[in-house]
Chain A
Amino acid sequence: MGKAVMKSVLPGFGITLGFSVLYLSLLFLLPVAGLFLFTLQMSWADFWVAISHPQVVASYKLSFAASFIGATINAVFGTLVAWVLVRYQFLGKKVVDALVDLPFALPTAVAGIALVTLYSTTGWVGQYLYLWGIKVAYSEIGVVIALTYIGLPFVVRTVQPVLADFSKELEEASASLGASRFTTIRRVILPAVLPALLTGYALAFAKAVGEYGSVIFISGNLPYRTEITPLLIVSKAEQYDYNGAAAIGVVMLAAAFILLLIINSLQWWASKRG
């Protein structure tokens, strides 16, 4: 008894923890458990049919492949943007830095109609790509564009602070030991930013897999071709096929939790390295 009082003289532990746990349980934990319980009512055969229908499998392939390509583009250009923002001085740098958060702040539906308008065959960008025979809107490329857009801030914002904290003395040491600039970047700087880079990559990928609003306008939603998995959940829910929607929803939840586990491990690795 005395020990418990000694631990903290501050008030409010019971009420703040109680309220937090109640709020989290009612709004988050119990509803998510509800989805799992709902699918348990289904027979295994029904569940399997729902999640392995060819149309659904085609959507997994598109969602994962496009998210993978988008996150890879962001890994390359996000690291480049972070490097440029940390290491170089140029006019308007603060504005550019702030603008990186735009995909996070701009509602996804707005991004969606902006992207499809830009990349349609008559759009500002799309018309020139169309001259080269490249159709972006209503194709797989459009899905990649949208998923690149929404993942853009993640790699920049994870790599940027690590690069800013990176000690220049290590680079000087490497250079004075005779390493070329390229070798220093590859052998000294890159290993230091790698955990942050991978964390940003995984965050961008996880966000892309579940994304809906910015994709559905530019993708055109052609069955078996440009339907992403979240779209199938929405259309099944709209047709009151709750079993089908819930089964795919459970698959997506499982994928999300696995990705979260990977992200947490990467962050743990990054903090140990830092």
Chain B
Amino acid sequence: MNTLSPTTDHAITEAPWIKWSLIGLALSFLALFLVLPLAVVLYGAFEAGINVWWQAITDPDALAAIRLTLLVLIIVVPTNAIFGVAIAWAIAKFEFRGKTLLISIIDMPFAISPVVVGLIFVILFGAQGWFGPWLAAHDLKVIFAVPGIIIVIMFGTLPFVARELIPLMQQQGKDEEEASLTLGANGLKTFWYVTLPNIKWGLLYGVILCNARAMGEFGAVAVVSGRIRGETNTMPLHIEVLYNEYMFTAAFAVSSLLTGLALVTIVLKSMVEWKDERKHKTH
């Protein structure tokens, strides 16, 4: 490295004043766009004291919204995780026609506006939609009811686990699974003891992202929910209703719960990335 003269060394870094100006500018931008919104939510939630905050989140309508959001998560996250594992298994371990097409289809739900997702299902299952009359005749309700909310959130968070697992499992190949089968283990045992330990961090990562998006989904739910208090309001919709009724403190109180979960999401995501990086380095 003695060929590096001080002048070239200077030429591949910036002068300290430039460096610190760039850091200052970047941090100011992030403070304005990331930290201030966080701060205003927490300030708004606790400004009137912890008792008011507690009242707002234990209000019956708020509790109903929390319960509905949890119900949605319990159904949507495992379903999309199973789909993610299944499609990643098929794509990573086998060769078949149309594979490239299938991979590009998985990305599509990301590109579609949430309100269009909601609209699609209103047109299918709404009172004047394709299946509306049939559903009404059988006394089934999808739109302005819980099933519609679950379906649109499932659609909106469809790709998360699959997108994490497909490249990971493609990279890992199928040698280990083949060895396990040759040694006499059956397919399920091979998946459980060989594949799953290999993909667990990627799977967890996808589940965290899927969960974060599912709890916060708003545009699609806004179209299909009908905002029936205590029945079809998820937490984000409850926040909207409170805000539009000028109950700002209550709106921020419920927001603070989701904000807390968002922060937990970020911490978990960083931890998984850190774990994953360490694993790559030790290999």
Contact = CB atoms under 8 A, between A and B. Distances in A.
A110 B90 contact: no
A134 interface: no
Interface in B227-283: 235-237, 239-240, 243, 248, 251-252, 255, 258-259, 262-263, 265-267, 269-270
Contacts of A9: 178, 181-182
Contacts of A133: none
A102 B38 contact: yes
Interface residues of B, number: 98
Contact of B94 (A13, A103, A210): A13
Contacts of B181: 9-11
Contact of B105 (A24, A209, A233): A24
Given A172-B12, A234-B223, A210 B114 contact: yes
A118 B36 contact: yes
A81 B30 contact: yes
Contacts of B116: 35, 210, 230, 233, 249, 252-253, 256
Interface in A231-267: 231, 233-234, 237-238, 240, 242, 245-246, 249, 252-253, 256-257, 259-260, 263-264
Given A16-B87, A28-B109, A108-B219, A213 B123 contact: no
Most buried by B among A9, A38, A102, A110: A110
B32 interface: yes
B130 A233 contact: no
A107 B69 CA distance: 12
A107 B218 contact: yes
Given A31-B121, A234-B219, A212 B113 contact: yes
Given A105-B212, A113-B251, A230 B33 contact: no
Contacts of A101: 266, 269
Given A20-B90, A213-B218, A175 B269 contact: no
Given A20-B87, A210-B114, A230-B115, A109 B30 contact: no
Interface stretch (B19-27, B49-57, B133-141, B196-204): B19-27
Nearest to A260: B111
B71 interface: no
B4 interface: yes
Nearest to A94: B270
B122 A242 contact: yes
A246 B119 contact: yes
Nearest to B105: A24
Given A149-B37, A264-B104, A77 B94 contact: no
A152 B33 contact: yes
Given A94-B270, A99-B35, A80 B29 contact: yes
A24 B104 CA distance: 12
A184 interface: yes
A120 to B, nearest CB: 11
A113 B239 contact: yes
A186 interface: no
A57 B14 CA distance: 47
B119 to A, nearest CB: 5
Given A20-B86, A38-B123, A84-B23, 10 more contacts: A35-B123, A105-B265, A106-B216, A107-B258, A108-B216, A118-B36, A230-B113, A234-B115, A242-B126, A249-B120
